[in-house]
């Protein structure tokens, strides 16, 4: 533990120094999704002529070089229209500024300067901006929404949040702890545990952290209804009945079970769950005034930490399985004897003891179609091998890749190798792939036209062929395999401006594949006669079942792993969240330490401090070094001078391409010390030079590990995401319908997605869908108006109005009319909610954070507390993936 004790006065001084406001601005530029040079340019609709490639009519494509996707987000009706919601709940509404406004909002750190969290947290921020502007724009809902859509995700949240905290100021409660050590358990609602980016909303409602005790949900824990592990799962379909191991059973030493031994009990005593939960809740109620982290007995905390530390440094001791809740599959008279099983991760990095599987399945060999493409207008015959590659290109005619010279160049280079030097085809310019494209389209159409029976038969046939590859037996437990299909050959579709896009991804053969399997297991038969596997290994320290070298980048690998629902994956998932939870106990000290180092004389220390601050505050990725043959993207450690522009007095403007070439744009007001440090790091450097020249991810992570065992840069992302969800759910869930609670969840989920910059392309049909919705709403409003008139007339004894087609309507009694009116009103409200939600989420991808960053136990516990069926939040595959989290205590807090 190298976090040094912090001198309180020194901190205060630092704080005074940096006492300026934190500003989060929206940038005025358009969509933050990607930023390729040609981004946003709608492609014209050529047909055969424009590039001689025979490209048919095409649609405009999204900016990151990928096709638009259909609307994917799950629409959950909002409980209220955004305009009716508290502005505190709606970033969008609270920031109704016009598109062109350069600085949309400003947050001020209004915290008393005596706050210990001081310059780090900036937790009490206020809108500095012009009230009248705010007022005047409040009415411009539609415009503001539109303008919001043009904002980078990263900026949206900050802006949105800015209004949320107008100066509540109960910081500093933990000040006395602050200087002691970096790992002081503290109040769960302490701002120190909140992501810096979302702190300012802390304590928006009184007793925010304690509302878990106030819901009726506790009376009837849903877990009982869901079943023990919540995963009904595909597993049941399996022909062989095997035993399902649970994560808890594997990891009896798990931190959380140490922390709350009761949980395990609860899960075992299934029938008594209700009462036991009640009892637990009562206990929690009694302790409501005590922060959760302090409720845990100190020894338990110590144990938890030491357990984790141990896990992180030494292999876990094998422990006999303690519980075996609701085994999904049990092999009758199995050869997989239970006694022989050892929990994964036991022994020296051992992940399994026995492993049986059937290897991988290969795509079918290429079937030539014989359709001739044109070269200089004349049909050209191609060998099947040449035709196969031509077809790969032809089917991509309608994609944005056709606008990328690099793609075409790489394709042509590789195709030429197959065509041979003296082939008639010498230049892509003169190629017309339309005949092949058309053939492909007609094949697609034929497939579409197949009858349901034919489709079903085909599906069954496929399933029959694949069934045996779909499963592995790990330590006697049947588990789903993730990606058992070998990738078919194709053209590499690198994202962004990947230098290798368009290159031929050659066909993978058995001789390319290394199989990993248990020593005593039968070696999978090679599915292609006459060929054999490259190598057979029996390495039980890894979880992969097979791998081959990436044909595009031969020094990299493609692995076959178990599916996300497998115990092995679940276990590592749980460990990930436990590590992030542990960070909660250290975060205060870590922030103290890096704040101190903002002004360090040691340049490396100083860079580490500033980088850690950015990772903590903005949830940036670590930023590993990249080769020249990869897309030019950056993360924190690889930020270039040109990616961060300091704007005095203390604003940093970020603009860079991150993972998947997704653009990150954000303007953030930072500590003055950080601002100065960044200015200094940029001094005497060119635009393309690294800001953090003394730093790389290994140095940064090595440093982080000194602060907390197992801490790496990415843990901050998990931590920030999960603590944000936990906090928001806790603060913002009020009573009401399930649908309203689901909206609260969506809202929290959305904020996390914004923090993590999880974007998606707007669906092609979005605007059409919105138009249709508006039309329907208008229509219903017309109906409503008519009903009201009829009611008034009927009450006066007059007949109802004529219907729109001029016929007279049946006279209804007032009661029926009133009923109709309320039904129609409800329908309109629902549609308005749907519309708002749809608009709200058109550029935000909620799924990624749900799958990767949000501790599922937060969600499960919240569902239990508020009687929200978990199926409203998790789909079938998430339920399977998070089976390990399903029996969490309703009182669980991250």
Nearest-approach distance from CB 571 to DNA, in angstroms: 8
Nearest-approach distance from CB 788 to DNA, in angstroms: 21
Residue 380: its H or E element? strand 378-380
Is the CB of residue 161 less than 8 Å from the CB of residue 87?
no
Q: Where are the beta strands (DSSP E) in 424-522?
A: 431-432, 471-474, 477-480, 490-491, 504-505, 514-516
Respond yes or no: is residue 853 known to be catalytic. Answer: yes
Q: Is 557 in the site for DNA (CB under 7 A)?
A: yes
Nearer to DNA, 189 or 398 (CB): 398
Place of tokens 């003394």: 694
Nearer to DNA, 140 or 564 (CB): 564
Nearest-approach distance from CB 230 to DNA, in angstroms: 14
Closest to 109 (Cα-Cα) out of 27, 166, 158: 166
Nearer to DNA, 178 or 484 (CB): 484
Nearest-approach distance from CB 805 to DNA, in angstroms: 16
Q: Is 576 in the site for DNA (CB under 7 A)?
A: yes
Closest to 81 (Cα-Cα) out of 787, 862, 872, 777: 777
Among residues 274, 285, 438, 550, which is the contact residue for DNA, using CB under 7 A? 550
Nearest-approach distance from CB 459 to DNA, in angstroms: 5
Q: Is 106 in the site for DNA (CB under 7 A)?
A: no
In the window 622-661, what residues touch DNA (CB under 7 A)?
622-624, 626, 630-631, 633, 635, 658-661
In the window 42-71, what residues touch DNA (CB under 7 A)?
62, 64, 66-71
- The dihedral built from the CA positions of residue 24, 707, 170 and 82, taken in this order, carries a sign that is positive
Nearest-approach distance from CB 797 to DNA, in angstroms: 34
In the window 795-834, what residues touch DNA (CB under 7 A)?
834
Nearest-approach distance from CB 505 to DNA, in angstroms: 6
Residue 202: its H or E element? none
Q: Is 20 in the site for DNA (CB under 7 A)?
A: no
Nearer to DNA, 562 or 791 (CB): 562
Is the CB of residue 22 less than 8 Å from the CB of residue 107?
yes
Nearest-approach distance from CB 623 to DNA, in angstroms: 5
Q: Which of the ranges 47-55, 185-193, 375-383, 846-854 carries the binding residues for DNA, by CB under 7 A?
A: 846-854
Q: Which of the ranges 285-293, 589-597, 781-789, 842-850 carries the binding residues for DNA, by CB under 7 A?
A: 842-850
Q: Is 441 in the site for DNA (CB under 7 A)?
A: no
Residues 813-851: b if buried by 16+ CB within 10 A, e if exposed: eeeebeebbeebeeebbebbbbbbbbbbbbbbbbbbbbe
In the window 68-97, what residues touch DNA (CB under 7 A)?
68-75
Among residues 128, 776, 788, 793, which is the contact residue for DNA, using CB under 7 A? 776
Closest to 430 (Cα-Cα) out of 826, 730, 1, 54: 54
Among residues 159, 474, 662, 670, which is the contact residue for DNA, using CB under 7 A? 662
DSSP string, 742-811: HHHHHHHHHHHHHHTT-B-PPPTTHHHHHHHHHHHHHHHHHHHHHHHHHHHHHHTTPPPPBPTTSPBPPP
From residue 711 to residue 730, the character string flagging contacts with DNA as x (rule: CB under 7 A) and all else as - is: -xxxx-xx------------
Closest to 699 (Cα-Cα) out of 619, 617, 606, 618: 606
DSSP string, 578-634: HHHHHHHHHHHHHHHHHHHHTT-SSHHHHHHHHHHHHHHHH---------TTS----
Q: Is 838 in the site for DNA (CB under 7 A)?
A: yes
Interface size with DNA, residues (CB under 7 A) = 97
Report how far residue 611's alpha carbon sits from residue 690's, in angstroms, rounded to the nearest whole number: 12
Q: Is 539 in the site for DNA (CB under 7 A)?
A: yes
In the window 726-765, what residues touch DNA (CB under 7 A)?
756-761, 765
Q: Which of the ranges 113-121, 205-213, 725-733, 873-881 carries the binding residues for DNA, by CB under 7 A?
A: 873-881
Q: Which of the ranges 84-92, 158-166, 845-853, 854-862 carries the binding residues for DNA, by CB under 7 A?
A: 845-853
DSSP string, 122-181: --SEEE-S-HHHHHHHHT-HHHHHHHHHTS-HHHHHHHHHHTT-S----TTTTHHHHTT-
| Joined tokens for residue 704 | 């982080």
Q: Which of the ranges 124-132, 167-175, 382-390, 697-705 carries the binding residues for DNA, by CB under 7 A?
A: 697-705
Nearer to DNA, 25 or 714 (CB): 714
Report how far residue 518's alpha carbon sits from residue 516's, in angstroms, rounded to the nearest whole number: 7
Report how far residue 403's alpha carbon sits from residue 410's, in angstroms, rounded to the nearest whole number: 13
Nearest-approach distance from CB 749 to DNA, in angstroms: 13
Q: Is 185 in the site for DNA (CB under 7 A)?
A: no
> Residues 6 or more apart from 774 whose CB is under 8 A from it?
835
In the window 461-520, what residues touch DNA (CB under 7 A)?
483, 485, 487-488, 490, 492-496, 498, 505
In the window 852-871, what residues touch DNA (CB under 7 A)?
852-853
Among residues 543, 730, 824, 859, which is the contact residue for DNA, using CB under 7 A? 543
Nearest-approach distance from CB 656 to DNA, in angstroms: 11
Q: Which of the ranges 52-60, 134-142, 551-559, 815-823 carries the binding residues for DNA, by CB under 7 A?
A: 551-559
Report how far residue 356's alpha carbon sits from residue 471's, in angstroms, rounded to the nearest whole number: 9
Nearer to DNA, 64 or 592 (CB): 64
In the window 294-313, what residues touch DNA (CB under 7 A)?
none
Is the CB of residue 442 less than 8 Å from the CB of residue 82?
no
Kindly name the residue from 336, 586, 594, 853 that is annotated as catalytic. Answer: 853
Report how far residue 114's alpha carbon sits from residue 665's, in angstroms, rounded to the nearest whole number: 32
Place of tokens 């115990």: 567
Q: Give the CA distances from residue 816 to residues 787, 791, 813, 819, in Å, rounded to whole numbers and listed in that order.
A: 10, 9, 5, 5
Report how far residue 516's alpha carbon sits from residue 755's, in angstroms, rounded to the nearest whole number: 39
Q: Is 229 in the site for DNA (CB under 7 A)?
A: no
In the window 361-420, what residues touch DNA (CB under 7 A)?
399
Which residues are tagged catalytic? 853
């Amino acid at each position: 533990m190298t976090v040094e004790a912090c001198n309180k006065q020194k901190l205060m001084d630092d704080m005074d120094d940096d006492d300026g406001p934190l500003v989060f601005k929206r940038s005025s530029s358009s969509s933050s999704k990607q930023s390729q040079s040609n981004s946003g340019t709608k492609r014209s609709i050529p047909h055969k002529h424009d590039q001689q490639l025979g490209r048919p009519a095409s649609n405009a494509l999204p900016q990151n070089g990928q096709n638009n996707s259909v609307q994917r987000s799950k629409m959950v009706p909002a409980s209220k229209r955004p305009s009716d919601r508290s502005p505190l709940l709606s970033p969008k509404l609270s920031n109704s500024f016009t598109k062109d406004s350069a600085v949309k909002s400003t947050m001020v750190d209004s915290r008393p300067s005596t706050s210990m969290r001081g310059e780090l947290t900036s937790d009490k921020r206020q809108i500095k901006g012009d009230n009248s502007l705010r007022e005047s724009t409040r009415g411009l809902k539609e415009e503001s929404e539109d303008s919001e859509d043009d904002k980078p995700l990263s900026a949206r949240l900050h802006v949105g949040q800015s209004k949320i905290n107008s100066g509540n100021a109960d910081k500093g409660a933990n000040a006395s702890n602050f200087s002691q050590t970096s790992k002081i358990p503290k109040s769960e609602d302490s701002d120190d545990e909140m992501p810096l980016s979302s702190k300012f909303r802390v304590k928006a409602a009184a007793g925010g952290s304690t509302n878990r005790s106030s819901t009726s949900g506790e009376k009837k824990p849903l877990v009982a209804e869901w079943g023990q592990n919540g995963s009904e799962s595909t597993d049941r379909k399996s022909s062989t009945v095997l035993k399902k191991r649970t994560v808890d059973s594997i990891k009896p030493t798990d931190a959380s079970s140490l922390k709350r031994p009761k949980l395990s009990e609860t899960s075992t005593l299934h029938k008594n769950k209700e009462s036991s939960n009640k009892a637990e809740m009562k206990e929690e109620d009694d302790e409501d005034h005590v922060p959760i982290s302090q409720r845990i007995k100190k020894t338990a905390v110590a144990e938890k930490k030491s357990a984790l530390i141990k896990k992180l440094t030494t292999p876990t001791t094998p422990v006999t399985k303690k519980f075996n809740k609701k085994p999904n599959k049990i092999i009758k008279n199995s050869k997989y004897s239970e006694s022989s099983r050892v929990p994964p991760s036991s022994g020296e990095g051992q992940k399994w003891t026995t492993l049986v599987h059937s290897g991988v399945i290969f795509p079918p060999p290429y079937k030539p179609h014989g359709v001739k493409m044109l070269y200089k207008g004349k049909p050209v015959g191609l060998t099947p091998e040449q035709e196969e590659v031509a077809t790969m290109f032809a089917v991509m005619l309608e994609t944005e890749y056709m606008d990328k010279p690099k793609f075409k160049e790489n394709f042509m280079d590789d195709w030429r190798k197959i065509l041979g030097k003296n082939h008639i085809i010498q230049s892509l310019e003169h190629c017309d792939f339309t005949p092949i494209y058309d053939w492909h389209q007609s094949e697609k159409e034929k497939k579409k036209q197949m009858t349901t029976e034919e489709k079903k038969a085909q599906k069954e046939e496929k399933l029959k062929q694949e069934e045996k590859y779909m499963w592995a037996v790990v330590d006697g437990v049947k588990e789903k395999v993730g990606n058992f299909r070998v990738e078919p050959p194709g053209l590499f579709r690198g994202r962004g401006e990947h230098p290798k896009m368009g290159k031929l991804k050659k066909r993978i053969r058995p001789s390319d594949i290394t199989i990993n399997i248990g020593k005593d297991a039968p070696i999978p038969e090679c599915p292609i006669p006459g060929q054999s596997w490259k190598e057979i290994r029996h390495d039980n320290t890894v979880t992969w079942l097979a791998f081959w070298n990436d044909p595009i980048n031969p020094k990299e690998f493609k692995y076959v792993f178990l599916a996300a629902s497998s115990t092995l994956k679940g276990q590592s998932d749980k460990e990930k969240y436990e590590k992030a939870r542990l960070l909660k106990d250290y975060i205060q000290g870590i922030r103290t330490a890096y704040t101190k180092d903002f002004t360090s004389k040691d340049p490396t220390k100083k860079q580490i401090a500033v980088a850690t601050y950015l990772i903590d505050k903005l949830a940036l990725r670590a930023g590993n070094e990249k080769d020249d043959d990869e897309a030019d993207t950056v993360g924190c450690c690889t930020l270039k001078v040109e990616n961060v522009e300091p704007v005095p007095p203390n604003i940093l403007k970020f603009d860079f391409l991150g993972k998947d070439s997704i653009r990150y744009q954000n303007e953030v007001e930072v500590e003055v010390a950080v601002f100065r440090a960044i200015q200094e790091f940029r001094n005497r450097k060119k635009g393309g030079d690294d800001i953090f020249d003394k730093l790389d991810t290994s140095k940064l992570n090595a440093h982080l590990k000194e602060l907390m065992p197992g801490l790496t840069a990415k843990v901050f992302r998990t931590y920030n995401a999960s603590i944000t969800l936990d906090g928001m759910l806790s603060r913002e869930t009020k009573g009401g319908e399930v649908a309203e609670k689901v909206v609260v969840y969506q809202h929290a989920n959305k904020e996390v997605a914004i923090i993590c910059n999880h974007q998606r392309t707007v669906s092609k049909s979005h605007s059409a869908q919105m138009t249709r919705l508006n039309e329907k709403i208008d229509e219903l409003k017309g109906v409503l108006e008519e009903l009201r008139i009829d009611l008034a007339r009927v009450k006066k004894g007059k007949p109802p109005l004529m219907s729109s087609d001029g016929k007279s309507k049946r006279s209804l009694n007032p009661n029926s009319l009133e009923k109709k009116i309320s039904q129609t009103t409800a329908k309109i409200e629902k549609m308005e909610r749907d519309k708002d939600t749809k608009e709200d989420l058109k550029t935000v991808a909620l799924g990624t954070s749900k799958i990767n960053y949000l501790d599922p136990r937060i969600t499960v516990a919240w569902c239990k507390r508020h009687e929200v069926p978990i199926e409203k939040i998790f789909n079938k595959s998430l339920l399977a993936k998070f089976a390990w989290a399903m029996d969490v205590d309703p009182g669980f807090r991250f």
